[in-house]
Amino acid sequence: MSAWNVVFWKEVRENLRDKRAIVSTFVYGTLLGPVLFAGLIGLLISVMLERSEKPLELPVIGADHAPNLIAFLRSQGVEIEPAPADPEGAIKRRDADVILRIPAEYAEQWRAGKAATLELIVDRSLQKAEQSISRTERYIQAYAGQTTAQRLLIRGISPEVIQPILVADVDQSTPQSRSGMLLAMLPYLLILTVFAGGSYLAIDATAGERERQSLEPLLINPVSRGQIMFGKLAATFAFAAASLALSLVAFAIITPFLPVEKIGMIINFGVKQCLLLFLAIVPLGLIGAGLLTSVSAFAKSFREAQTYVTLLIMLPAIPSMIMALNPLKPADWMYAAPLLSHQLLIEQTVRGEPAVFWQFAASISVTLLIGSIVAFVASRLYHREQLAISA
Amino acid sequence: MIELSDLRKSFGAVKAVDGVSFVARDGEITGLLGPNGAGKTTTLRMLYTLMQPETGFIKVDGVEITENANAVRRSMGVLPDARGIYKRLTARENIEYFGRLHGLDEATLKSRCDALIAALGIADIEHRKTEGFSNGQRVKTAIARALIHDPKNVLLDEPTNGLDVMATRALRQFMLKLRAEGRCVLFSSHIMQEVAALCDRIVVIAKGRVVAQGTADELREQTGESNLEDAFVKVIGSEEGLSL
């Protein structure tokens, strides 16, 4: 057995016996993503469903002044409620999202054919009320439109006269692509797994060994430091890959239970997608393992290494955040950029788009190349004289 | 056999080792005596290839260490200053790990392991995880691990540090056994009695320099003191950092 292999198996065996490593890699690392994802998606869906399905409750002042309007609103499913005694106060106290006031002169203005005035008592600064306000406005506009059409027809004019342009949406999104929007955070959660999965082992195997004074005896063995580093890096990579695989399985199990079809979406997370995603993401494990090992070799203490690693794990979030705030149009070069290419490949895969060979090949080969460079840097750091000397 | 010649190593402005030369012969125990901070550990670290000396050379069995560091490492068994063992592995697994890194085949590994475990008297704990081991048990495991490849030269950095009387006695017996097997044993200590009782040759180090070396008789003769401990104190110039 070659030396790096000996180191690899020792690290694997030792860490499999460590409860904290197991929890960090296979419980925390694996389940955090899917559970967070399911929670967020579930919340999002329930909010969307609740908002659109719940009948609008509308307190009305002076309902007697406009019986036709009230009847129209009721026919649209609006629940007309008696207004509270102090409507302005009720809005301020957030007891109601919107209150409709029908002034006494409404009926008079209506009959005279003048623009009849209605008042909506609202607080525009409240996000939560936005939906109710716009729904109320839509219903009232619809009533006004209906009335306009009737009045024009009576005068023998086609209602189309006042509607010179009609805009029709030709929506090209499919249920799959719409779920892609909802799945915007998925890439980060998966990429995070591959960084976080090996982080405990990486810190333990270098900074931890030095702190526990076992690195010095290890380095006296007739084995090159490059081999020792590579064994540890391979173990870090293996744990990261295992964490990713388990995380994908957890996603595949959880997603069928998410009620995404209720909002007309489909998430593809079958066996094929799992394999494609694993193939696409796992090369990042090499960059992750190389960076984690470098940082552990560079840090002067276990704690210092932990601090760096916490920051390091934030790194893959950057492209995800850019893509979420300012979605870039996929361009060919992006498939040769690590993290960015992963973002795109993950989104495309869960959207159910067919895998394009060159895109996967470009992402994987560039990622492995950069991973090798990072691993080389880690090996250089392992050759420093200070490495073994514990402070 | 180990030869060191004019070794120097400084950390910033501090000259940790400032021209150390001595020879440790096969079949002898050579003691490196000096107060804490005299440069013993740095000297040994250069010897076991962890640090690069700024000047001078080191030869182990005639091979210069810069020429073939791995060959030198194979011929040396080292108990370094840092003697951490893996607490989630058993004593035997700790020993086997280093044996495999030395490239021993499984049959040799097993027989060497059995022999060392018997010789060091740790058969009762060989299958226990080392977490919770006493200092003595840890040092014995670390020594077995260091000697798994049957090295010709044995380096022990303050081996009895932190051990109780029983463990210290057992370790001293073990060192005598290594000498009887014809090995070159080099150990460092700041304990005068230990060095006086065990060593064939003594190298006294202070402030990074060798201030005296020779057999016990030679040291007494050089200093004109009949008591070896008085001789040590005289060449070092102070009792500070030494123990009886």
Q: What is the ipTM of this complex?
A: 0.93
Is the minimum CB–CB distance between A226 and chain B shorter than 8 Å?
no
Sign of the CA dihedral with A101 first, then A107, A109, and A111 last: positive
Q: Which of residues 16-55 of A touch B (CB under 8 A)?
A: 17-18
CB-CB under 8 Å, B103 with A3: yes
CB-CB under 8 Å, B80 with A220: yes
Q: Which amino acid is at A270?
A: G
Quick one: what percent of chain A has pLDDT higher than 70?
94
Is the minimum CB–CB distance between A12 and chain B shorter than 8 Å?
no
Is the minimum CB–CB distance between A219 and chain B shorter than 8 Å?
yes
Our CA angle for B106, B112, B114, nearest 5°, is 100
Cβ-based contacts under 8 A for chains A and B: 78
Using the 8-state DSSP alphabet, how is residue A355 labeled? P
| Rounded Cα–Cα distance for residues A250 and A32 (Å) | 10
Average confidence (pLDDT) over A252-273: 80
Quick one: what percent of chain A has pLDDT higher than 90?
34
Rounded to the nearest angstrom, the minimum Cα separation between A298 and chain B is 17
pLDDT over threshold 70, residue A315: yes
Give the CA-trace dihedral at B189, B193, B194, B197, to 10 degrees.
140
Rounded to 5 degrees, what are φ and ψ at A164? -65, -25
Selected residue of B88, B93, B139, B157 to mutate for chain A interface (largest A Cβ count, 10 A): B88
Is the minimum CB–CB distance between B101 and chain A shorter than 8 Å?
yes
The pLDDT value given to residue A161: 81
pLDDT over threshold 60, residue A181: no
Is the minimum CB–CB distance between A64 and chain B shorter than 8 Å?
no
The pLDDT value given to residue A77: 85
* Every domain of chain B and the residues it spans: 1-75+152-244, 83-150
Nearest Cβ partner for A212 among B48, B84, B103:
B84
Q: How far is CA A96 from the centre of its chain?
A: 32
Our CA angle for A380, A384, A389, nearest 5°, is 140
Rounded to the nearest angstrom, the minimum Cα separation between B74 and chain A is 6
The pLDDT value given to residue A391: 46
A219 contact residues in B (CB cutoff 8 A): 50
Token pair of B51, please?
Answer: 């640090």
Model confidence band, residue A175 (pLDDT cutoffs 50, 70, 90): low
Question: Exposed, middle or buried: residue A9 (CB in 10 Å: 0-12, 13-18, 19+)?
Answer: middle
Residue ranges in chain B modelled with pLDDT below 50 = none
A390 contact residues in B (CB cutoff 8 A): 82
Is the minimum CB–CB distance between B146 and chain A shorter than 8 Å?
yes
**B213, B28 contact by CB (below 8 A):** no
The pLDDT value given to residue A179: 58
| Confidence (pTM) | 0.81
The mean of the pLDDT values for chain A is 86
CATH class of this structure's domain B1-75+152-244 = alpha beta
Selected residue of A10, A14, A227 to mutate for chain B interface (largest B Cβ count, 10 A): A10
- Identify the structural domains of chain A with CATH numbers, from first to last: 3-47+180-388 (no CATH), 55-162 (3.40.1710.10)
Bridge partners, B54 (sequence order): none
Is the minimum CB–CB distance between A14 and chain B shorter than 8 Å?
yes
CB-CB under 8 Å, B87 with A212: yes
Per-residue pLDDT of A74-109, as tens digits, reads: 888 888 888 888 888 888 888 888 899 998 888 888
In chain B, which residue's Cα lies nearest the Cα of A231?
B101
The pLDDT value given to residue B72: 92
Per-residue pLDDT of A367-386, as tens digits, reads: 999 999 999 999 999 998 88
Nearest Cβ partner for B86 among A214, A219, A389:
A214
The pLDDT value given to residue B25: 95
Average confidence (pLDDT) over A103-124: 87
B73 contact residues in A (CB cutoff 8 A): 220-222
B48 contact residues in A (CB cutoff 8 A): 220
The pLDDT value given to residue A254: 86
